[in-house]
Amino acid sequence: MKLNDPYKMPLNHFQDYVWSVYGPGEVYGNFFQNELTRQEMDAACFLISKTKDYEGDTIDREKARDLLLASRGEKTEYFG
């Protein structure tokens, strides 16, 4: 990943974006029974940001969600 790549969202912005969707009390917080921690979410976002096709978009947000769900033993679209 190049520095300042205009097509890739900076990690801290991506983390804030994902938190604003799946964090406790947010629109999809119930995916995690409103118990998701910022530390869990930050780690998942970091891992997703290291993939070759990372852009910080909705697809990446869903990959982060599925990584978190898989870590809790649930089957998911991206991580079986």
pLDDT in tens, 30-72: 999 999 999 999 999 999 999 999 999 999 999 999 999 999 9
DSSP states of 6-59: TTS--HHHHHHHHHHHHSTTSTTGGGGTT---HHHHHHHHHHHHTSTT--SSHH
Give the confidence band of 6 by pLDDT, cuts at 50, 70, 90. low
What is the total count of domains within the chain? 1
Residue 25 lies in a domain: yes
Residue 42 lies in a domain: yes
Question: What is the residue range of 23's domain?
Answer: 11-71
Give the confidence band of 8 by pLDDT, cuts at 50, 70, 90. confident
Stated pTM of the model: 0.88
